[in-house]
């Protein structure tokens, strides 16, 4: 059963495509169970933008972006996010030194948010090509 809610939009009119997931947590502070629709390519960047004011998430909230295999495509970099500052990451896969590459995706994504607080929100944007 899904927790919280997500509004999903996708911009695919340019070379770089953008998947926007505007989320709102449930009473337990969670969001999950809503799939993005199919995207295909390499993830170049992900941004985590907390709402402001009364719907700002609890500080140090957590976000994962899981593929159909249950793998967190942001590699844990969505843990302990600030509730006042936008975070931007470039998820990479490799040996950590010389063979790092953008993360490939071909399928649906599931945004999971935890520890955000009751009825709190934000936006996760995924840029891919």
CATH architecture of 5-128: Sandwich (2.60)
pLDDT tens digits along 69-122:
999 999 999 999 999 999 999 998 887 777 788 999 999 999 999 999 999 999
In the chain, the largest separation of any two C-alpha atoms, in whole Å, equals 44
pLDDT at 1: 56
- Say whether pLDDT at 47 is over 60: yes
- For the CA atoms of 16, 61, 69, 9, the dihedral, rounded to the nearest 10 degrees, stands at -40
- What residue ranges do the domains of the chain occupy? 5-128
Helix (DSSP H) and strand (DSSP E) numbers for the chain: 0, 9
Q: What is the residue-averaged pLDDT of the chain?
A: 93
pLDDT at 10: 87
Residue 128 binned pLDDT confidence (cut-offs 50, 70, 90): very high
What stretches of the chain show up as alpha helix (H) in DSSP? none
**Tokens of residue 8, six digits:** 């999903």
Q: Are 76 and 112 in contact (CB under 8 A)?
A: no
Residue 2 binned pLDDT confidence (cut-offs 50, 70, 90): low
Per the document, the length of the chain is 129
Please tell me what DSSP assigns to residue 53: G
Q: Buried b / exposed e across 6-34, counting CB within 10 Å, b at 16+?
A: beeebeeeeeebbbbbbbbbbeebbbbeb
């Amino acid at each position: 059963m899904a927790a919280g809610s997500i509004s999903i939009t996708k911009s695919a009119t340019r070379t770089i495509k953008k998947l926007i997931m505007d989320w709102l947590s449930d009473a337990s502070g969670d969001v999950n169970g809503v799939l993005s629709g199919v995207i295909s390519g390499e993830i170049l960047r992900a941004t985590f933008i907390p709402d402001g004011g009364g719907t700002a998430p609890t500080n140090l909230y957590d976000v994962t972006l899981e593929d159909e295999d249950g793998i967190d495509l942001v590699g844990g970099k969505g843990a302990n996010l600030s509730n006042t500052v936008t975070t931007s990451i470039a998820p990479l896969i490799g040996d950590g030194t010389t063979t790092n590459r953008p993360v490939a995706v071909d399928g649906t994504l599931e945004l999971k948010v935890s520890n955000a607080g009751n009825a709190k929100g934000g936006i996760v944007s995924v840029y891919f090509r």
